[in-house]
Structure 1
Amino acid sequence: METQNNNPQQNKIGHWLKTSITARMLMVGFLVIILLIPLSYISSLINERAFRQTDVVNEINSKWGNHVLVYGPVLKLPYKTYTETKTYNEKTKTYFKETQTHIKYAYIFPENLDSKVNVNSKTLNRGNFESAVFTTQMVFSGHYIPVDLKAKGIKQEDIVWNEATIIIKTSNLKGIKSEVQIKLNDKAYNFETNFNQNDKNNLDVLESSFIKGETLFATKSTKFNFSITFNGSRQIEIIPIGKTTTMQMDSNWADPSFMGNYLPNDETKQITENGFKADWKVLHINRAFSQQHLKNIPNLNQFAFGTKFMVMVDEYQKSERSAKYGFLVIGLTFLVFFLIQTLSKINIHPFQYLMIGLALTMFYTLLVSISEHSNFLKAYLIAGISVIVLITLYSKSILKTFKFPLFIGASLSALYAFIYVIIQLENYALLVGSIGLFLILAIVMFVSRKIDWNNG
């Protein structure tokens, strides 16, 4: 008798779930929230693959060559300083003065520093991952003016001229692919690695053999030139230690990102699909350090400038940005089905909503997996067409007509195309996205204006 008494109540609840607009809205909203769980796992998968790519790229770069930072040439001049100590003699009852000599170093920057940098970039592959690397030849020239340290309190006779050296600092000692020599007024001097140098800039140091500095730097200007060939990755930078520093860079890299405190001249900068050319000029008044330093060289890395050689938006970044719109895609697709169900009085089961939602989430796993073996556009097209065809055919079996499934297929195609356009944009993504969402909201408001929301 209790079962018979409960049947009317159960039937009433079942009828309310089938016919009530409010019940359908609650059901659709609940399913959207549930589908956020697989979307979060997909986002984690994308991040995991991106981290894996980063690890592989770092491994490739460490073997080929790291980023390139060149700091030099710097004239290293030893000089003498003196200290006096007094010792009291008990027998003579007098003080004995003793003078001790200490060797310290002055670091002199050149009057001008001109560099010409030619960069040939390419990609290295490992499995499904690739890294952009380059080989660069950097040619430096300039001159030193006669050294005068009187303003620093150092007499000319206290300078140890015959033990002068030239030092060059770099972040990529491993990537150097040629012997390094510097010519001072046409006389060549070789460099060796100075492993004992305590460098606060975390840079490796190359130091030349001893130079007879008195004949070169005491009374006349000295011209210099040297070149270094690097295998490197990520970026190329120099520090503007010349009183006037210029750099000319040309490369076959089509997407440069100019970095540092100083940008290239807009008048001469050229960027095409075949590469770029850029010129920099930095004056001593543009940076806050002098041309002479005692005891040690300060950390000047903050003044470095150059070019970054990296893909602006890689495949995983695009996939991650696409996945962020997953909630929007699922929500709008469910909204379309909800409006069709409400306007046409066709019953759609919650399980069928769930199957449609899972098909939409599969788009992102297809996108990531295919993009690892192809470019992003092809992966996006294959994943999008597969999901749209699947949902359209499934909708045909649910809605028992051709009109609504074709509308759903067209809506999904427009939505995926809209998201692809947003992903490709950098500066106008927010503007285009906001306008697109406004138009979608206007269409939904127009379509739903005739629904009787008071019915359930």
Structure 2
Amino acid sequence: MNAWTQTVTAKVLGIGVLALLMTIPLMQVSGLVSERQQLREMAIAQIAQGWGGQQVLGGPVLTVPTLSQVAVAENQPPQTRAGSESMLADTLKMDAVLDVQTRSYGIYTAPVFVSTVKLDTQFRVEDLAQFRRASNAQWQGSKAELRLPIGDLRGLQEVSELRINGKPARFDSSANHVGPWSNVVVPIDLDALADQPIDVEITLKLAGTESLQLLPLARSTDVTMRAPWRDPSFIGAALPLEQAIDAKGFSAHWHMLDLNRNYGQHWTDAGDGMDKALQASTFGVQLYQPVDVYQRNVRAGKYGLLFIAMTFVAFFLFEILKRLRVHPVQYLLVGAALATFYVVLLALSEQIGFGPAYALAAAAVALIVGGYATAVLHARRAGLLLGGVLGLIYAMLYGLIAAEQYALLIGALVLLVMVALMMYLTRRIDWYAYVPTTTGPTSTEPPAPPAAIMERS
């Protein structure tokens, strides 16, 4: 048993165990990245608290208070219950222009915007009549109100225009909701608008953080959006029919019909089911930050174990092919240096950006490991070569991080090449042979294969 533990095979298994042990500090680094990411989210929440959060904006919804008879129990008279019924417009046109800037909270930044939105919507007379006929409840006179859903009312900076059938009006605050969102309301008299469509024109300024989503609250919804942001991420239930992205920003156009959503033109007392349906129909844009250092740190950490294993293999090949001897503690020290790379990368990337931080951290670790290899292997050439190999591996890792769409393909090809290279370099190793006991290179020539040794003897 003692003899077997001195074989090359035992050495390989021991190195494998050491590589697995290095997953512990890698997991700690992953937890540190998650913690820093949570701090960033808290910082963005602080920015949104004074500016406005992720915004949702819909078209006006016509809501009528109702009274209905509800049976309580057998042999008891029904009770009257107050409720409401809502109706959507026939057409809705929205034009949004976003003025985007970046705000900071400590070392963290987030894109914020002020959107100037123009809404034009119309409720048809025929739809109003059908809405009244389809109701199973008693309307409370001619009282009604138009509700404008807004995701975060803190971001409503100004309502510069509100006209109903050409006449100016004003919004009031309200404790009611349209789905899960708050709203502002304007009361209207349906009797005063008898046999007339309801035309609503609104111009407002709405501030928010990171994203603006819209609600298709009409039979036909047309939305146009423009912003000086070069990296938009279109999100939600619908992608734009037309879009243009250049160095100056983006523009996009959506068109949605009532057939594209899973709720109708009117409903009674929206509940949880209706809230979920409304939330599922939102669409819009997120101001994506392609230099998000935490996403890239997470992606770099995913290759940590493979990276450490490849470095250990390089040390092992030098140890076997050059007839050297490296202690397991020395492997652990090299692994500790490789794990420290991710901590240094995270700390620097928060300050100077991911690219420069990656270059500095990679150069530092390559120099440390290369210098240590020179001392351990007693060969300057071996140390320089290992440092160069480490730099090449870091360059490959950066390519995997940068190639978002082709990362899996590139990683698979690189892994295949590395496995083939290791098979080629170890093709003549006698895995039953003993590990060499010398502490330095015994010869400048590569070790002879077992067959050649047998011939010499």
In which range does the TM-score fall when normalised by the shorter chain? 0.7 to 0.9
Partners in 2 of 1:371 and 1:78 — Cα distance?
A: 56
CA contact (8 A) 2:149 2:178 kept: no
Structure 2, gaps ≥5 residues long? 71-76, 435-457
> Equivalent residues in 2 for 1:197-208 (5 A)?
197=176, 199=177, 201-208=179-186
Shift of 1:415: 0.9
1:427 aligns with 2:408: no
> Equivalent residues in 2 for 1:106-125 (5 A)?
106-125=85-104
Shift of 1:73: 0.7
1:134 aligns with 2:113: yes
1:193 aligns with 2:173: yes
Partners in 2 of 1:37 and 1:255 — Cα distance?
A: 36
Q: Which residue pairs with 1:374 in the alignment?
A: 352
Q: Which residue pairs with 2:199 in the alignment?
A: 223
Q: Which residue pairs with 1:251 in the alignment?
A: 227
Partners in 2 of 1:140 and 1:21 — Cα distance?
A: 75
Paired AA for residue 129 in structure 2: D
Q: 3-state DSSP class of the match of 1:25?
A: helix
Shift of 1:206: 0.9
Q: Which residue pairs with 2:129 in the alignment?
A: 148
CA contact (8 A) 2:7 2:432 kept: no
Paired AA for residue 244 in structure 1: S
CA contact (8 A) 2:147 2:178 kept: no
Paired AA for residue 146 in structure 2: I
1:177-205 C-alpha deviation (Å, 9 max, x unpaired): 1136520122111001112x2x3723212
**TM-score, with normalisation over the residues of structure 1?**
0.84
Partners in 2 of 1:48 and 1:260 — Cα distance?
A: 28
Q: Which residue pairs with 2:450 in the alignment?
A: none
Q: Which residue pairs with 1:350 in the alignment?
A: 328
Q: Which residue pairs with 2:35 in the alignment?
A: 48
Q: 3-state DSSP class of the match of 1:164?
A: strand
Partners in 2 of 1:50 and 1:102 — Cα distance?
A: 48
CA contact (8 A) 2:88 2:217 kept: yes
> Equivalent residues in 2 for 1:293-332 (5 A)?
293-294=267-268, 298-299=274-275, 300-312=278-290, 314-332=292-310
CA contact (8 A) 2:9 2:432 kept: no
1:372-405 C-alpha deviation (Å, 9 max, x unpaired): 1011011000000011111112222223333322
Task: Kindly name which structure, 1 or 2, has the bigger radius of gyration based on alpha carbons.
Answer: 1
Aligned length: 421
Partners in 2 of 1:213 and 1:72 — Cα distance?
A: 19
Q: 1:396 to 1:154 in 2, by over 3 A?
A: closer
1:167 aligns with 2:167: no
1:153-180 C-alpha deviation (Å, 9 max, x unpaired): 589x97733x332211211111111136
Partners in 2 of 1:204 and 1:182 — Cα distance?
A: 18
Identity among equivalent positions (%) equals: 28
Q: Which residue pairs with 2:239 in the alignment?
A: 263
Give the stretch that moved more between structures: 329-338 or 423-432: 423-432
Q: 1:364 to 1:229 in 2, by over 3 A?
A: same
Q: 1:348 to 1:112 in 2, by over 3 A?
A: same
CA contact (8 A) 1:80 1:160 kept: no
Structure 1, gaps ≥5 residues long? 1-11, 84-97
Shift of 1:219: 1.4
Shift of 1:24: 2.5
**TM-score, with normalisation over the residues of structure 2?**
0.84
Q: 1:168 to 1:200 in 2, by over 3 A?
A: closer
Q: 3-state DSSP class of the match of 2:172?
A: strand
CA contact (8 A) 1:61 1:131 kept: no
Q: 1:451 to 1:139 in 2, by over 3 A?
A: same
